[in-house]
Every structure is written in structure tokens, then in C-alpha cells.
Chain A
């Protein structure tokens, strides 16, 4: 596809369950970012991947959050033992390389009951 693709678009789950969110970046984009957007707020950086370099995990809010990316392809963001405060839209962005314009997907809206 032409843009960043995220799935699922919506996810409702019970507190304490694990969730996995997926991001397909634009083909050829080596840099990939995850952000979190709480209702009515700006975006908060979570994690960054660039090729096979060590990721920048400095934005992950707790050890319940983790993410993986294999090479320059799909990335998954996993949240274990979900809490109500994890409810937010999780957005993925990719760019040709770090420092270049970031293009966002439409996000996954996560609701924790």
C-alpha cells in the first residue's frame, strides 16, 4: 500500500489482558516510530527503530510495554497486563530515514474495560 497501515483499527479488551498492535511502514522506509495519543492530547513518543540499529526505547512508560521490528519491515507493539490508563490511540509513523518527514497511519484505538 501507499501509506502506513495499522491493525487492528480498534481494540477493546479487559484489564489484565495482553494486546498486540501491528504496523506496516511505507515500503523502503528505514525509520519507524510508535507514539501514544491520549484523548484530547498531543502525541507522546514511545519507541524508535532504524534498520538493524539498537532501538530507542526511552519513551516506553513501563516494562509492560515492548516492541519489535525485524529489519525494515513490520513492527509490533505489545502491552502486557493492560491497565485502564493504557486506553489511548497508538500511532505508528515511518520515514525514509531518521530526521526525514514522518508519515503516520490512522492508529489503533485501544480501550481497556
Chain B
């Protein structure tokens, strides 16, 4: 079945460094790729998303890139801050469905050390 793989599972960086999280998806019909940040005891918060007709999108310190041919997409966080510490999830739409239901990666725990 369709799946999304996410790497690494944990990532530790020094404050001010960049962090990169990578995901691959299996369904070539997937067309929407959101990224969520989840803090302890909270629901996932949408931080950035990209659609399949776009290769890159930026929002301040956060950027996402998409390679449709290779079926992978990445989250880039620059100038990391301690408050960026959280679990990050990538997701992709279930391509053969028009419901917009999402298939999630297993998450990356990001720790930013002051």
C-alpha cells in the first residue's frame, strides 16, 4: 500500500545551525505534501505545505523542496532556535482518493541545543 518514509528519526543540532528532514513517498498520484510540527501534549500544527506543481516554497526560516521524479520532499529549517525543538511529521495525500486523506511519516524528533 501507499506509504511515506521519513528520515532521520532523531536530529540534534546546535542553535543557529540548519536542520534538514527528508521524506519519500510511494504513490506517484500524491499531489499535496504538508509538514506538521507537534509539541508534547498538543495536536500537529501545520507549518508549511507544497503542491505537486511547485518545486520549492519558503516561509521565513522554513522551506520545503519537492522532487516529483524521485518522489521525495524535504523540510529545511535555517537559523534554528530552541523553540524549534519538537516532533516534525511529513505527509502526503493518498493519491487515488479525492478525500484529501493524509499518509504520515513516522516523525523526526528535533532537538536544538542552546
Seen from chain A, the residues whose Cβ lies within 8 Å of a Cβ on chain B are 4, 6, 31, 33, 35, 40-45, 48, 50, 56, 59, 91, 95, 98-107
> How far apart are B99's CB and chain A's nearest CB, in angstroms?
5
Complex CA–CA separation, A98 to B91 (angstroms): 15
A41:B43 contact, CB within 8 angstroms: no
Seen from chain B, the residues whose Cβ lies within 8 Å of a Cβ on chain A are 4, 6, 32, 34, 36, 41-46, 49, 89, 91, 93-94, 97-107
Complex CA–CA separation, A104 to B41 (angstroms): 13
A43:B101 contact, CB within 8 angstroms: no
The closest CB in chain B to the CB of A53 belongs to: B99
The closest CB in chain B to the CB of A9 belongs to: B41
Known contacts: A43-B89, A56-B97. The answer to whether A102 contacts B43 by CB under 8 A is no
A50:B99 contact, CB within 8 angstroms: yes
Known contacts: A99-B93, A105-B43. The answer to whether A33 contacts B107 by CB under 8 A is no
With contacts defined as CB atoms under 8 Å apart, how many contacts are there between chain A and chain B in the complex? 65
Known contacts: A42-B104, A101-B49. The answer to whether A48 contacts B42 by CB under 8 A is no
Complex CA–CA separation, A56 to B101 (angstroms): 9
Known contacts: A101-B46, A107-B43. The answer to whether A42 contacts B105 by CB under 8 A is yes
A104:B97 contact, CB within 8 angstroms: no
CB contacts (< 8 Å) of B102 on chain A: these are 33, 35, 43, 45, 102
CB contacts (< 8 Å) of B98 on chain A: these are 98-99
19 pairs, A vs B, C-beta closer than 8 Å: A31-B100, A33-B102, A41-B106, A41-B107, A42-B105, A43-B102, A45-B101, A45-B103, A50-B99, A56-B99, A98-B100, A99-B98, A101-B46, A102-B34, A104-B36, A104-B45, A105-B43, A106-B43, A107-B43
A100:B104 contact, CB within 8 angstroms: no
B101:A106 contact, CB within 8 angstroms: no
> How far apart are A68's CB and chain B's nearest CB, in angstroms?
17
Complex CA–CA separation, A35 to B101 (angstroms): 10
